[in-house]
């Protein structure tokens, strides 16, 4: 009998453990497609639905989570383990239940190119967000909408929150790929032509790279030109490692916001431009955004 009781006890504990685990696990759909008339092609996206999504009738806040350069919509899932971190944070009450949407941005930098050949920004704002928020039970209001990302995605999250403050309650750029005028002007031709020429202007060198398209999409320039009141309408969490080559421009962004007396959070942690840094920072970033969803 003692052995039978012990076996029964173990099975009960295992069952409770599985039930608890099941309650805390959100659902991930790794590959979904939206057809874009603006881009003239299908765009993949990945989505995380919180643990109680399929058993409730409520609507949820949403965070758009953007990937980095050369990555795709699965990056935050495969390398960032976003589902595991979100499950744990929701279970512990660190973040509220939320939907996390990860679109494929290719190497668009999430903006419209200078020549109009690629209009990813128009796609995201005019097609992608409205389609997502009609397809899922999302509270489609500024108060319940956040945006975050890493590197190129950090840049994208800054661009969208700065240009469209009426759409986002909070933004959390991690290791944002922000560059100042001096860095862009002095960049090696090979790097500029490979990465930025299709965005800001082809066949240009030095200060000629500081085109209208460059200034229209420079977070530092936008902060300089925006009113303090407009900037204050979005809550910002800026996080960049002390060993990251992008830390200087992120510091400049921090100083520019300070100069305009714009409240924001600025973090410099130990680390570089790596998934280790982003994995260890994403929970705090989501928690910061989650505060915006509260009354």
128 Cβ contact list (under 8 Å, min separation 6): 34, 36, 43, 45, 103
DSSP summary character for residue 125: I
* Percent composition of the chain: helix, strand, coil (DSSP 3-state, to 5): 45, 20, 35
Nearest partner of 277 among 239, 249, 250, 245, judged by Cα: 239
Which has the closest alpha carbon to 278: 269, 265, 287?
Answer: 269
The domain segmentation of the chain, as residue ranges, is 26-179+219-292, 182-217
CA angle 248, 63, 130 (to 5 degrees): 120
- Residue 3's pLDDT is 52
Cα(108)–Cα(118) distance, rounded to whole angstroms? Answer: 8
How many degrees, rounded to 5, is the angle at CA 176 between CA 173 and CA 179? 140
Residue 38: beta bridge partners?
A: none
Closest-CA residue to 150 (of 289, 290, 273): 273
- Enumerate the β-bridge partners of residue 265: 237
Helices 2-24, 82-91: axis angle to 10 degrees equals 110
Q: How far is CA 121 from CA 15, 132, 252, 259, 289, in A?
A: 48, 15, 25, 28, 22
Instruction: Kindly report the CATH number that applies to the domain delimited by 26-179+219-292.
Output: 3.40.50.1820
Distance CA 239, CA 265 (A): 8
Q: Which regions in the chain score pLDDT beneath 50?
A: 1-2, 4, 7-21, 23
């Amino acid at each position: 009998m003692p052995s039978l009781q012990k076996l029964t006890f173990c099975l009960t504990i295992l069952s409770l453990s599985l039930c608890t685990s099941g309650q805390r696990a959100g659902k991930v759909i790794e590959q979904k497609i939206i057809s874009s008339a603006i881009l003239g092609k299908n765009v993949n996206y990945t989505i995380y639905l919180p643990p109680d999504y399929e058993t409730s009738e409520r609507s949820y806040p949403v965070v758009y989570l953007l990937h980095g350069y050369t990555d795709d919509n699965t990056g935050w899932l495969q390398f960032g383990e976003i589902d595991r971190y979100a499950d744990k944070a929701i279970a512990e009450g660190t973040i509220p239940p939320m939907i996390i949407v990860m679109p494929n941005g290719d190497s668009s930098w999430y903006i419209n190119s200078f020549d109009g050949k690629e209009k990813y920004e128009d796609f995201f704002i005019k097609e992608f967000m409205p389609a997502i928020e009609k397809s899922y039970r999302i509270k489609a209001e500024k108060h319940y909408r956040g945006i975050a990302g890493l590197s190129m995605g950090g840049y994208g999250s800054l661009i969208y929150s700065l240009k469209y403050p009426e759409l986002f309650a909070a933004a959390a750029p991690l290791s944002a790929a922000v560059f100042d005028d001096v860095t862009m002007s002095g960049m090696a031709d090979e790097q500029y032509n490979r990465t930025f020429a299709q965005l800001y202007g082809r066949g240009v060198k030095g200060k000629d790279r500081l085109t209208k398209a460059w200034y229209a999409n420079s977070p530092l320039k936008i902060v300089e030109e925006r009113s303090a009141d407009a900037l204050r309408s979005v809550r910002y969490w800026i996080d960049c490692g002390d060993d990251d080559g992008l830390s200087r421009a992120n510091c400049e962004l921090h100083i520019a916001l300070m100069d305009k007396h714009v409240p924001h959070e600025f973090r410099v942690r130990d680390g570089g431009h790596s998934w280790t840094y982003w994995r260890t920072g994403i929970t705090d970033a989501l928690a910061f955004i989650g505060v915006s969803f509260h009354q």
